[in-house]
Amino acid sequence: MTTATTLYLGSLRTEATHTRSGQQVITDAPLDNNGKGEAFSPTDMVSAALSSCMMTIMGQLAERENINLAGLKADVVKVMSANPRKIAEIQVTFTHPTLEATDIQKEKLKRAALTCPVALSLADSVKQTVNFNF
């Protein structure tokens, strides 16, 4: 089954539709690459996907461990290299100042995040810098 269908709309803009749900995502090329920068760029989406995947896998662990992970926040910074133009680094900083979990559970959450499918799928040349503030 097709996961998504993507349509080129012109002017460096795409519209991806998730087949199962019908949800749509617009992407634009960034301002520094001849785009309008009015939406996520494809490389922004990759960076955001990393944090979302990490949160999802942490959420699965949290449910098994009866940890309330609601309110967990991730700030994501994407660093591009110029030649070749590609993602050089993704920095993810997780913050949850009131997380109620043991030190062992916190270590399990960190391990879960670092081994999410997106993290494991990115090329080794993409540096992943992940900080946990909880």
Write the pLDDT tens digit of every residue in 52-100. Answer: 999 999 999 999 999 999 999 999 999 999 999 999 999 999 999 999 9
Whole-angstrom distance, CA of residue 75 vs CA of residue 61: 21
pTM above 0.75, yes or no: yes
Q: What is the count of structural domains for the chain?
A: 2
pLDDT bracket for residue 48 (50, 70, 90) = very high
Asked whether residue 26 falls in the same domain as residue 48, the answer is no
Beta strand residue intervals within 1-134, DSSP E: 4-10, 13-18, 24-28, 73-82, 85-95, 127-133
Facing residues of 38 across strands?
Answer: none
- Determine the structural domain holding residue 21 and report its residue range: 4-33
Instruction: State residue 73's pLDDT score.
Output: 98
In this prediction, residue 128 has a pLDDT band, given cuts at 50, 70 and 90, of very high
Whether residue 73 sits in one domain with residue 10: no
The answer to whether the CB of 90 falls within 8 A of the CB of 79 is yes
**Cβ–Cβ < 8 Å for 33, 40:** no
Domain of 114, CATH number, reads 3.30.300.20
